[in-house]
């Protein structure tokens, strides 16, 4: 049985908050959410991840026992509200026995014809959860997600929109050598697409970067079981002389992004972290969350696809850096929301 690291720093006398989410698998963005919560909530609360197994049924004991000594439940992460599926790691009915706070939520919207389509009986289950009086706080990462939750689920509390909460994370300091630019490329294993995903255009992009005197760094943006799949899949990207970066350390991965001059990423939080370093990141899978994030900044020029015919042309000239004012606005929006979240949990867990 694979176990999840559930406990963080002990805070004797502090309220205990149980966290639900997709944690322990090594998915870069989700593990960053834990770091965000530790940074912004860890001084006020003792934090513990509730789902403590990686395999079903995800809890090593009855969920009632998992929440027995917590004063509140925080559900956080990205694409947790999936209109075709509902997951007990995030939306277990037993969580509602405590005040529940929902933060950073995204609603992935699939293109027409996708196998992952909205199902009314699933939406109704979400509706029952979100309308519970136990739900005290709802934050969504973009307007599209906030509008979907408000219109489809009609929750009792206001849905507050803010930039992705990872924008509020303090990133490690890096150095960047303008005389030796690096193109970072992030790929990912996509279950069911192993034979479909064609990396020819990405290989051409790497060849172009090298012809311009750039280094090419292929970043494996995952650890654990996710990293294992991603590093095996990375062998399919043929760029002679590329560097392959693979680490189990989340801050090592983050620094690997920060040292790049430009990024091309199939992973959303690769683009988010690059943005917060001021680095332009070309989106290689234009999902709704990627489109919403880039359009928030007016950077439609960074929306593409890994197999787009004009992928290389989109790097002629190289994309301009992210406006520092936008970096500041994203950080302020995320940290402001995290401050509001902390105060809301304190109001429910600390006697007046």
In this predicted structure, what is the pLDDT of residue 281?
A: 98
Mean pLDDT by runs of 10 across the 352 residues of the chain is 69 92 96 97 96 95 97 96 96 98 94 80 98 98 97 97 98 96 96 82 98 98 96 94 97 98 98 98 96 97 97 97 98 98 96 73
In this predicted structure, what is the pLDDT of residue 301?
A: 98
CB 95 within 8 A of CB 73: yes
**Neighbouring residues of 342: CB distance < 8 A, sequence distance ≥ 6:** 40, 41, 44
The 10 Å Cβ neighbour count of residue 27 is: 24
In this predicted structure, what is the pLDDT of residue 89?
A: 97
Domains parsed from the chain with CATH numbers? 16-161 (3.40.50), 182-327 (3.40.50.2000)
Note if the pTM is more than 0.85. yes
- Using a 10 angstrom Cβ sphere, with 0-12 exposed, 13-18 middle and 19 or more buried, the burial of residue 179 is exposed
In this predicted structure, what is the pLDDT of residue 1?
A: 43
Helix (H) or strand (E) holding 50: none
């Amino acid at each position: 049985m694979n176990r999840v690291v559930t406990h963080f720093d002990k805070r004797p006398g502090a309220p205990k908050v149980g966290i639900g989410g997709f944690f322990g698998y090594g998915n870069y963005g989700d593990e960053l959410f834990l770091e965000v919560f530790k940074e912004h909530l860890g001084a006020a609360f003792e934090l513990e991840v509730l789902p403590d197994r990686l395999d079903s049924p995800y809890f090593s004991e009855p969920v009632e026992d998992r929440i027995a000594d917590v004063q509140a439940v925080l559900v956080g992460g990205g694409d947790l509200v999936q209109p075709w599926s509902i997951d007990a790691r995030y939306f277990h009915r037993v969580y509602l026995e405590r005040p529940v706070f929902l933060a950073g939520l995204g609603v992935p919207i699939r293109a027409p014809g996708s196998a992952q389509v909205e199902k009314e009986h699933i939406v109704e289950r979400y509706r029952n959860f979100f309308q519970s009086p136990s739900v005290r706080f709802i934050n969504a990462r973009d307007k599209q997600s906030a509008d979907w939750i408000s219109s489809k689920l009609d929750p009792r509390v206001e849905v507050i929109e803010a930039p992705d909460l990872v924008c509020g994370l303090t990133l490690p300091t890096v150095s960047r050598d303008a005389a030796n630019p690096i193109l970072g490329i992030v790929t990912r294993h996509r279950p069911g697409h192993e034979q479909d995903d064609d990396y020819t255009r990405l290989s051409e992009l790497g060849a172009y970067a090298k012809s311009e005197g750039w280094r090419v760094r292929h970043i494996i943006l995952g650890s654990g079981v996710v990293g294992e799949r991603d590093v095996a899949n990375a062998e399919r990207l043929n760029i002679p002389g590329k560097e392959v970066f693979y680490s189990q350390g989340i801050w090592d991965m983050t620094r690997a992004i920060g040292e790049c001059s430009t990024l091309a990423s199939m992973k959303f939080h690769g683009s988010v972290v690059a943005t917060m370093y001021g680095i332009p990141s070309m989106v290689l899978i234009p999902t709704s969350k990627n489109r919403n994030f880039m359009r928030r900044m007016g950077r439609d020029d960074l929306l593409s696809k890994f197999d787009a015919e004009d992928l290389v042309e989109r790097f002629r000239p190289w994309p301009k850096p992210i406006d520092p004012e936008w970096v500041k606005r994203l950080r302020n929006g995320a940290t402001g929301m995290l401050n509001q979240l902390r105060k809301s949990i304190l109001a429910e867990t600390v006697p007046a």
